[in-house]
Amino acid sequence: MKGHASSTEGLCCCEYENNQGEKSHILACCCDCEAFDQAADRCITCRQVPPETMERLFKTIEDRCRVPGILGQGAIKLRLDVIVPVITIPVCLFLATIGPVMTAVMLTMMPIFLLWFYRMWKRNTKKDRTLFFYSWGLMSVVTIFVVFESCVVGFREILLWEHLLLLTAMFLMLYNFVRTKLNTPYLKNLKRPRNFEKMNQSDRRIVNADDTFKVPMSLEEMTAVELPESDVKWLDSRPITDGKLVTWCQHCNLNKPPRSGHCNLCKVCVSVRDHHCVWIDTCIGADNHRSFIISMMLFVFCGYYGCHLSMTTLCTPKMYFDWFLFPNDCRFLYIDFQTSASFVGTCYTFLASTIMLFGLIFQFLLISQNLTSQEFHIASQRNMLRHGLFATKNVYNQGFIHNWFNFWLTGRKDTRTSVITL
């Protein structure tokens, strides 16, 4: 087998060694692909493409997705899951500017394509973790920002304070997303729950099988436990496998504190785990849940406020109650490229903000009960939900006001929220 140094030796900026070890050129990306020929043959003759052919085709596309390198290392390989949104989003939004029918078609096709590509990616690369959603989200924000700044602001109808308000909120949103990504509360290599020494005695209670509480006197008492399912009478985030609640994580080699969970994508246990957010490719838990909620709220605000500014610019607005402008006459939305691009960007932003709003409302519902998404999921599996929304036997629920107070003050740190310490 050739070493790395020899494999890139003598390659010009556009050449590379492909996954069969042969020298290839990036301009040959569409030539000589056996898997593509087979797939095309089968498609033309209306026969199903075998999964192995699809897998080979996917691998070949991935291998040929390259740009010229300038440091003498040959053509640089790009991640297909990163590059696909970078091309798809501007192209789809550009096509959507053609007319109202194309706008409807493209905005419907984009989420379908998103799910289809992810399924294909998972099936053919056998990988669970992908930067596809992260790249999609980032590219969407960048594209919409460029459209807003170059098209909508170009009409010169937005006041300076309105523009500054939007830019400030957007900056704060990105800042909070970065904070969320940097502060993921991973539990790897921790021998004890975070901040155990600082925890109040009352916060360190152990719930026994008979629902009584006791306070562990030492860290040794916090050893791994296996409890039969029938004895677990409270809502616990740790999954029950083979009829037992097991607190030991064999992947991370640690005793999982209450409310924590192992993430199969991050491959590590996370403190007070809520969920893995694919859009920023990180787990949400104790340390970053607050900044995550702030960024979601700012996203929704920026989205709807940006839509309002765009629509009152593109349509003839009418004033209501002497202070609220509302778009009134919207007959000329496709009159030129600048207007139609602004309108398409607005529709896309409105859809994204609405989806985000639903996610935010769900998060509010959970925070009101001091519940994580993971606990909610477990509660639905174990029939511990009232009206499908409210968890029963939730020992962390300290009342609506207290829950919210705790969330904003401590950001769901486990110093305050660890009630059960099995």
Q: Name the site residues for Zn ion (rule: CB under 5 A).
A: 249, 251-252, 262-263, 265-266, 269, 276, 283
Pick the closer one to Zn ion by CB: 349 or 374: 374
Q: How far is CA 332 from CA 169, 307, 313, 343, in A?
A: 30, 17, 12, 10
Pick the closer one to Zn ion by CB: 368 or 373: 373
Tokens at 409, concatenated = 């003050």
Q: Are 336 and 132 in contact (CB under 8 A)?
A: no
Pick the closer one to Zn ion by CB: 76 or 266: 266
Pick the closer one to Zn ion by CB: 24 or 247: 247
Closest separation between CB of residue 121 and Zn ion, Å? 17
Question: Residue length, the chain?
Answer: 422
Q: Count other Cβ atoms within 10 Å, centred on residue 79.
A: 13
Closest separation between CB of residue 187 and Zn ion, Å? 7
Tokens at 30, concatenated = 């569409």
Rounded Cα–Cα distance for residues 75 and 67 (Å)? 6
Closest separation between CB of residue 420 and Zn ion, Å? 18
Pick the closer one to Zn ion by CB: 252 or 314: 252
Closest separation between CB of residue 133 and Zn ion, Å? 13
Closest separation between CB of residue 252 and Zn ion, Å? 3
Pick the closer one to Zn ion by CB: 190 or 265: 265
Pick the closer one to Zn ion by CB: 249 or 333: 249
Give 127-130's long-range contacts (Cβ < 8 A, gap of 24+): 128/264, 128/265, 129/265, 129/266, 129/281, 130/81, 130/278
Residue of 134, 136, 82, 129 whose CA lies nearest to 279: 134
Rounded Cα–Cα distance for residues 107 and 101 (Å)? 10
Rounded to the nearest angstrom, the gap between the alpha carbon of residue 314 and the centroid of all alpha carbons in its chain is 32
Closest separation between CB of residue 181 and Zn ion, Å? 11
DSSP code, position 231: G
Q: Count other Cβ atoms within 10 Å, centred on residue 86.
A: 16
Closest separation between CB of residue 284 and Zn ion, Å? 8
Residue type, 166: L
Rounded Cα–Cα distance for residues 261 and 246 (Å)? 12
Pick the closer one to Zn ion by CB: 62 or 287: 287
Closest separation between CB of residue 177 and Zn ion, Å? 16
Rounded Cα–Cα distance for residues 363 and 296 (Å)? 10
